[in-house]
Chains A and B, each alone.
Chain A
Amino acid sequence: MSSITSIQPFRKIVAPWLVPIAILAIWQLAAQTGWLSSRVMPAPSAVLLAAWKMTLSGEIFYHIKISFLRAASGFVVGGGAGLLLGLLNGISRKAETLLDTTLQMIRNIPPLATIPLVILWFGIDEAAKLFLVSFGVFFPLYINTFHGIRSVDPGLLEMARSYGLKGWPLYRDVILPGAMPSILVGVRFGLGFMWVLLIVAEHVSSSSGIGYMTMNAREFLQTDIVVLGILLYAALGKLADFAARLLERWWLRWNPAYQPQ
C-alpha cells in the first residue's frame, strides 16, 4: 500500500517514453516483415548496427570531428566578429552611425542565397563552408550583443560612474554582465543557424564530415547510414544547445529566472 507513492513518480518517468518506444517497436516490426522497404527506411536495429560498425572502424569519429571543427571554427569566426561589432556599435554612437545601416542591409540577404557566389569565390573547399557558417552565425550575435549593451539599465551606469568606474572596469563590472542575458540569447540562435548552414554546406560538396558520409551513403542506397547521419546532426545540435544552457546557468546564476528549480 505504501508503494502507491512510489508508483506515482515512476509513472511520470515512464509515461512520456511509451509513445516513442511504441513507434520504434512498430517501425522495427514493419521493417523486419518487409512491409517497410529498407530503401525507404532502414530498421532501427540496422541503424544501430551501422553505428556500431562505424564506431569499430573509427570512421564515425573521423566524420564527427571534421563536422565539429567546421561548425566550431565558423561559430568562432562569425560569432566573434558579431560580438565585437555588436560591442563596438553598442558602445560608440559614431560607429553605429557609420556601420549599422550597412550591416542591417546585409542582414536581409539569406546566407543560403549566396551559395552560387560562394562557390565562385571560394570553390568548394573549407573556405566556402567557413564563410557560410560564419555568415549565418554573425547576425544573431551582432544584433543581440548590440541590443544587450543598449538596454543596460542607465540607472546602474549612472551609479557605477558616480562610484568612479570608467574604462575597462565599467565594461567588466557593469556593461558586459548587463548585456550578457541578451548575448547568450544570440549564442543560442547562432548555434541553431550554425548547424543548418553546416549541413547545407557539407551537402553542396565535401570529401569528409557527416554530410559527406550521408551523401556517399545515398549513392549506395545505404539508408541506415543516411539515418545515422541525420541522428548525429540532431545529437550534435542538442549537445551545443545543452552547452549554451550550461553557460546561461553559470553566467546568469545571479538571475532568479535562470536558477535551477
Chain B
Amino acid sequence: MGSNVVNFKTGENSEQENNAVTGTALHYRNISKQFGSNPVLQNLDLDIAAGEFVAIVGRSGCGKSTLLRLTAALEQASSGEITHHVANSGSSGDTRFMFQDARLLPWKTVLENIGLGLRGQWRDTAKQVLQHVGLLDKADVWPATLSGGQRQRVALARALVHHPDLLLLDEPLGALDALTRIEMQQLIEDLWRENGFTAILVTHDVPEAIALADRILLIEDGKIGLDLPVQLPRPRQRGTAAFAQLEATVLQRVLKTPSQENIPEIPTPKNITQLKWAW
C-alpha cells in the first residue's frame, strides 16, 4: 500500500503574472516513465499555460493516462521533472483528479462525499457546488442509488469544491451514454470558464476533445506527436463544417500512427467521424 503522493512544487511568485490569469501552469522536462522494461513515455517535453484546457488523445496504452497520473503525483516519473506554477498567488494551488469511475465512497451520502477532505463549516459550500451540478435534491442519498452520469457529476462537484487550480480528467465520461456525455461536456466547459482552472482531459473521443479543448495533444511513441490549437469560437457547435474538418484531420492523424496491430480499415469517408480508434 505504499503511497508516493508528494507535495507539489508550487510556483514562486518571482515572475509576477497577470492577475486575470488563474490556474496552474505546467512544465514537463525530459519526462520518462517505464513499467518494468516497457517504456511508456520517453523524454517528453511539454508546457501548458495557466488556465488552458488541454485534451490528450492517443491510442490505447500510448501513455496518456500515465502522463496524467504523473502530473497528479499518483505515480513517480522514472526520470525528468514536472514543475507546477500557480498563476494566482492567493489561490490554493490544489490539483484534483477525476477518475474514469466516479470513486465515490459508497458509505457516505452524496453530500458527505463532496465534503471529503474539507474542514470546518463545509456543508453550505458543498451544497452550493452540488446545486451547480444540478443534484441538490440528491444530497442525502447513497451513491449506490445514482446513475452513472449522476455519479460523475458528484465526482466533479467533489473535485470543484476545493477550487482547484488544476483539474485532471482521466476519461471521466468514457462510460456514459452519448446524451449524458454531451451534457457533461457542457457542464465541464461552463465550470471551467467560470472557475478558470487549468484542465487536462484524457479522452478517446475526438469530438469531445474538439468541443472542449484549446489545444489537442497526441501522444505517440512516448512523445507529443501532435500539438494542435483549436481556434473554434466557444460554445462550439458540433454540426459545423469547421468542426467536422478538424475532427477528420485529428482522426486521420491519429490513425496514421503506426501501431503494433494492423491499422483498422476506414470504410468510407462518411463514417470517419464516428470511428473510434481505440476501445
**Hey, which bits of chain A sit against chain B, CB under 8 A?**
91, 93, 154-165, 169, 173-174, 177-178, 180, 252-256
Contact = CB atoms under 8 A, between A and B. Distances in A.
A254 B144 contact: yes
B117 A159 contact: no
A53 B96 CA distance: 70
B72 A162 contact: yes
Nearest to A164: B117
B263 interface: no
26 contacts: A154-B1, A155-B101, A155-B103, A156-B105, A157-B1, A159-B99, A159-B103, A160-B105, A160-B117, A161-B3, A162-B5, A162-B72, A162-B74, A162-B97, A163-B116, A163-B158, A165-B116, A165-B117, A174-B105, A177-B107, A180-B107, A252-B107, A253-B142, A254-B106, A254-B144, A256-B144
Contacts of A173: 105, 108, 116
A170 to B, nearest CB: 10
A155 B170 CA distance: 13
Contacts of B116: 160, 163, 165, 173
Nearest to A169: B117
Contacts of B1: 91, 93, 154, 157
Interface of B: 1, 3, 5, 72, 74, 96-97, 99, 101, 103, 105-108, 116-117, 142-145, 158, 162
A72 to B, nearest CB: 27
Contacts of B74: 158, 162
A160 to B, nearest CB: 7
A254 B107 contact: yes
Contact of B103 (A156, A169, A178, A252): A156
Contacts of A155: 99, 101, 103
Nearest to B97: A162
A188 to B, nearest CB: 19
A182 to B, nearest CB: 13
